[in-house]
């Protein structure tokens, strides 16, 4: 492994296991080379009666160098791929050499390893069309052969421990799929399960584990795959499901493709973990590579997200003198011999983060990541998955559309771009009209913010599919209007936006889309700066809206003190009207870490004094898009309900 990979991915695994051994993150050079001077185990061929298949079947069995019939041993069942048989591991993976070397170093619990033929049919040779229907079905049929015939035979003929805690199963490719199917389907039989580069025969996660909590009974659930393996999606979807359900497991991503270089390394690492105490709290640290961030451009491998939330960055900048990543906190990258600069961050919080590359102190977008308009310019973004992000996942549900429209504004005398979400079925249900939510971005962002960073379409698609939100149109206008910059932000901006919304945005929407035009079917919301616009416009025009959503906002003091005072006075004089018109006045903050938190609390206190009805919610995360996505998710469920 080259030095850049060592730096970018380096961590020490000491302390992971109660046995206090230090484990290599990858197999060292020579791990699979036979050493004449050490004791060697033995590989034999066995035959057993298979009632499942109705014939005698063959398997190989490895016994360790110090094998004694007076001792009892745990057993690892090691499965081959679709093009192999019981000899595939022996011929190509040399497990006997790998295990002998580990025994000699004192790194392995003495065990018996059984290498069966996973094609449970009378002619189980790997010949002819290996993808033929009967041969593929035979791999599934092997579950019965394994449980009812092979395991009882081994436990009768060999001195093995017969409890699940001393029984492991692992396999490569098709055998990896079998491993996950059989191991997770029979947790009462196996306590150690390892799927290496699991193939498409792997069941969907919900079929594998309809009761995910059951998997917590496993001592070790290992899923691994080479970073260049085209079968990665099958491993990742299983790991994602486990993570979503908080099931401890190792998702081990390593350099390589779909070959024995990877699988030998898997066996080297996996075999050292089984049949000994493990610390499950360290599982998230056990990997070489991470998964490419969802926000990467097509085919970009970096940045990567590790299971513990850390991010790995790799940047090629041969002539640079200094390279940093600015994620709010700056990280220095280290230059390696191939002109690639590398670094691993601390664990990042959930969801979306803006970031920049600083190359010799010049901020630029990372060419490996998608760019987003934020911070007053285009910047890179990185998406960090987390267990609760399912509500904006891309799912197999009906999907609406994001439409980009050009609107001429009579207020600015210019063309303005508007993003508009139309719900599933909008183009087919031509006789149906829809309620509409007008939603505003924050300072330094633009009309693309809620569509791109905010994932509005996915949030609404999923809510509508689940029956949690009414089908609605969402209009995302450009809220940048009036004097630029927060130093100039004031009453003129607020008045100009109010005027543009009323005289341009709403008429444009109502003339070009099938929307309901009464106040009960119209809502307004915004985040940060957009929340201030929402406050001003909504308070002044409560007869136009039934719901107002104010996310991470409040009157900016002392800058807008005079405006705030006028608004509170207006509310006090029109309290009954406002409380009657606005059915949902929903105010949300990103916890005490939100930069608007203090202003928001002062506003809430004042609203209480006046007697204005509102609902308040907090979602921890500060002044960030993960918070605002969740705000939209919660707010949309309240809208347009009778």
Picking from 475, 469, 468, 548, the residue whose alpha carbon sits closest to that of residue 515 is 475
User: What pLDDT, on the 0 to 100 scale, is given for residue 16?
Assistant: 36
Q: Are residues 519 and 618 in the same domain?
A: yes
Say yes or no: 492 and 592 in one domain: yes
Counting residues of the chain whose pLDDT is more than 70, the rounded percentage is 96
CA angle 591, 245, 13 (to 5 degrees): 90
CATH code of 367's domain? 2.60.40.10
E-only strand ranges, 229-283: 250-254
pLDDT at 216: 95
Residues 204 and 103 in one domain: yes
The answer on 418 and 321 residing in a single domain is no
pLDDT of residue 21: 44
Residue 22 CA to residue 148 CA, distance in Å, equals: 38
281 & 306 share domain: no
Residue bearing tokens 């230059």: 335
pLDDT at residue 262, rounded to an integer: 98
For range 515-526, the mean pLDDT: 97
User: Phi-psi category of 413—alpha, beta or left, where left has phi over 0 and alpha has psi -120 to 50?
Assistant: left
Confidence grade of residue 14 (pLDDT, cut at 50, 70, 90)? very low
Highest averaged pLDDT of the listed ranges 5-9, 192-196, 304-308 = 192-196
CA 437 – CA 246 distance, rounded (Å): 35
Say whether 385 sits in a helix, a strand or coil.
coil
CB 562 within 8 A of CB 474: no
Clarify whether residues 350 and 261 are in a common domain. Answer: no
Listed residues 260, 285, 310: the one ending a domain? 285
Domain termination site, one of 321, 349, 384? 384
Residue 23, pLDDT score: 63
Any domain includes 600: yes
Domain end among 285, 300, 316: 285
Is residue 251 one of the residues assigned to a domain?
Answer: yes
**Of 239, 173, 178, 233, residue with least CA distance to 205:** 239
Tell me the pLDDT tens digit for each residue of 263-314. 999 999 999 999 999 999 889 888 888 989 999 999 899 999 998 899 999 9
Are residues 103 and 186 both part of a single domain?
A: yes
Residue 350: the pLDDT is: 86
- Pairing type for strands 473-476 and 436-440 reads parallel
Q: Please give the pLDDT value at position 8.
A: 32
Q: Residue 475 is part of which domain span?
A: 401-637
- Secondary structure of 36-95 in HEC code, one letter for each residue: CCCCCCEEEEEEEEECCCCEEEEEEEEECCCCCCCCCECEEEEECCCCCCCCHHHHHHCH
pLDDT mean over 452-473: 98
> Do 250 and 315 lie in a common domain?
no
Q: pLDDT-based confidence at 7, cuts 50/70/90? A: very low
461 vs 395: CA distance, rounded Å: 9
User: Across residues 572-596, what is the average pLDDT?
Assistant: 97
Tokens encoding 611 = 């007697």
Say if residue 280 is in the same domain as residue 297.
no
If one compares 337 and 136, the residue with the highest pLDDT of the two is 136
pLDDT tens column, 98-124 = 999 999 999 999 999 999 999 999 999
Residue 9: inside a domain:
no
- Would the pLDDT of 383 be above 50? yes
29 burial type by CB count under 10 A (0-12 exposed, 13-18 middle, 19+ buried) = exposed
Instruction: Give the C-alpha distances (Å, rounded to integers) separating 287 from 226, 255, 307, 492.
Output: 11, 11, 8, 54
Query: What pLDDT is attached to residue 386?
Result: 83
Give the dihedral sign, CA 503/506/510/512.
positive
In a domain, 36, yes or no: no
Query: Of how many residues is the chain composed?
Result: 642
> Does a structural domain hold residue 3?
no
Give the domain CATH number at 192.
3.40.50.1820
Q: What is the pLDDT of residues 329-342, one digit of tens each?
A: 999 999 988 899 99
Which pLDDT value is given to residue 380?
Answer: 95
Clarify whether residues 445 and 501 are in a common domain: yes
Q: Alpha carbon of 61 to those of 43, 75, 267, 583: distances in Å?
A: 6, 10, 16, 72
For the beta carbon of residue 360, count every other beta carbon within 10 angstroms: 11
| Judgement on whether residues 144 and 117 belong to the same structural domain of the protein | yes
Q: At what angle do helices 529-540 and 561-573 cross, to 10 degrees?
A: 30
Above 80 in pLDDT, residue 496?
A: yes
Q: Is 313 inside a domain boundary?
A: yes
Instruction: Give the count of domains, the chain.
Output: 3
- CA–CA gap between residue 601 and residue 80 (Å, rounded): 62
| H or E element in which residue 177 lies | helix 174-185
Average pLDDT rounded to a whole number, residues 76-82: 98
pLDDT at 2: 39
Q: What is the predicted pLDDT for the residue at 13?
A: 33
Q: What are phi and psi of 195, to 5 degrees?
A: -100, 115
Position 30 in a domain:
no
Q: How many whole angstroms separate alpha carbon 176 and alpha carbon 185?
A: 14
Half-sphere exposure of 539 (CA within 13 A, CB side): 28
Position 284 scores a pLDDT of: 84
Whether the predicted pLDDT of 485 surpasses 70: no
Shared-domain flag, residues 165 and 260: yes
Q: Is 122 helix (H, G, I), strand (E, B) or coil?
A: coil
Do 516 and 433 contact (CB within 8 A), yes or no? yes
Say if residue 12's pLDDT is above 90: no
The two structure tokens encoding residue 619: 């979602």
User: Averaged over 211-228, what is the pLDDT?
Assistant: 96
Asked if 614 and 575 touch (Cβ cutoff 8 Å), the reply is no
Q: Could you give the residue ranges of the DSSP H alpha helices within 436-485?
A: 449-452, 456-465
For residue 29, give the DSSP letter: T
């Amino acid at each position: 492994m080259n030095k850049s990979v060592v730096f970018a991915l380096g961590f020490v695994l000491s302390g992971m296991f109660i046995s206090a051994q230090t484990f290599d993150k990858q197999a060292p050079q020579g791990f699979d080379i036979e050493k004449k001077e050490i004791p060697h185990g033995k590989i034999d061929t066995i035959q057993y009666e298979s009632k499942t298949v109705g014939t005698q079947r063959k398997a190989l069995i490895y016994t360790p160098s110090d094998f004694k019939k007076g001792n009892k041993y745990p057993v690892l069942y090691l499965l081959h791929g679709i093009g192999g048989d019981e000899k595939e591991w022996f011929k190509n993976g040399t497990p006997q050499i790998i295990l002998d070397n580990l025994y000699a170093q004192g790194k392995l619990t003495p065990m018996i390893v059984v290498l069966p033929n996973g094609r449970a049919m009378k002619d189980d040779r790997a010949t002819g069309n290996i993808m033929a229907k009967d041969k593929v079905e035979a791999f599934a049929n092997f579950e019965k052969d394994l449980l009812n015939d092979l395991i009882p035979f081994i436990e009768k003929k060999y001195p093995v421990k017969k409890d699940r805690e001393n029984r492991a199963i692992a396999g490569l490719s098709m055998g990896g799929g079998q491993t996950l199917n059989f191991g997770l389907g029979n947790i009462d039989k196996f306590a150690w399960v390892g799927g290496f580069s699991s193939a498409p025969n792997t069941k969907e996660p919900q079929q594998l584990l309809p009761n995910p909590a059951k998997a917590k009974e496993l001592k070790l659930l290992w899923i691994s795959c080479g970073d260049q393996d085209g079968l990665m999606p099958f491993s990742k979807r299983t790991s994602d499901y486990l993570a979503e359900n908080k099931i401890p497991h190792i998702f081990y991503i390593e350099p390589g493709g779909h070959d024995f270089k990877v699988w030998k390394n898997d066996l080297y690492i996996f075999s050292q973990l089984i049949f000994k105490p493990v610390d499950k709290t360290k599982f998230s640290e056990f990997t070489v590579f991470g998964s490419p961030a969802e926000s990467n451009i097509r085919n970009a491998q970096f940045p990567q997200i590790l299971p513990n939330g850390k991010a790995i960055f790799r940047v090629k900048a041969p002539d640079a003198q200094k390279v940093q990543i600015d994620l709010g906190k700056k990280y220095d990258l280290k230059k390696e011999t191939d002109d690639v600069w590398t670094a691993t961050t601390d664990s990042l919080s959930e969801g979306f983060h803006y970031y920049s590359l600083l190359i010799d102190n010049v901020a630029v977008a990372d060419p490996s990541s998608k760019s987003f308009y934020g911070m007053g310019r285009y910047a890179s973004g990185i998406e960090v998955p987390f267990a609760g992000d399912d509500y904006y996942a891309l799912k197999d549900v009906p999907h609406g559309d994001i439409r980009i429209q050009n609107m001429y504004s009579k207020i600015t005398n210019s063309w303005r771009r508007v993003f508009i979400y139309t719900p599933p079925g909008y183009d087919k249900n031509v006789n149906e009209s829809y309620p509409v939510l007008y939603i505003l971005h924050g300072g330094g962002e633009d009309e693309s913010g809620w569509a791109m960073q905010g994932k509005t379409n996915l949030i609404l698609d999923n809510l509508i599919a689940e029956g949690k939100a009414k089908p609605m149109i969402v209009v995302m206008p450009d809220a940048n209007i009036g004097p630029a910059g927060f130093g100039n932000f004031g009453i003129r901006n607020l008045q100009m936006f109010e005027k543009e919304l009323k005289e341009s945005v709403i008429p444009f929407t109502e003339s070009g889309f099938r929307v309901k035009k009464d106040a009960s079917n119209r809502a307004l919301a915004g985040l940060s700066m957009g929340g201030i616009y929402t406050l001003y416009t909504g308070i002044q025009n409560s007869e136009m809206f039934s719901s107002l959503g104010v996310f991470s906002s409040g009157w900016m003091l002392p800058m807008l003190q005079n405006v705030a005072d006028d608004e509170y006075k207006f509310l006090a004089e029109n309290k009954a009207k406002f409380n009657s018109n606005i059915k949902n006045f929903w105010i949300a903050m990103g916890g005490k870490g939100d930069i608007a938190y203090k202003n928001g609390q002062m506003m809430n206190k004042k609203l209480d004094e006046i007697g204005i009805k509102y609902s308040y919610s907090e979602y921890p995360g500060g002044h960030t898009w993960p918070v605002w996505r969740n705000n939209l998710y919660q707010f949309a469920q309240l809208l347009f309900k009778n």
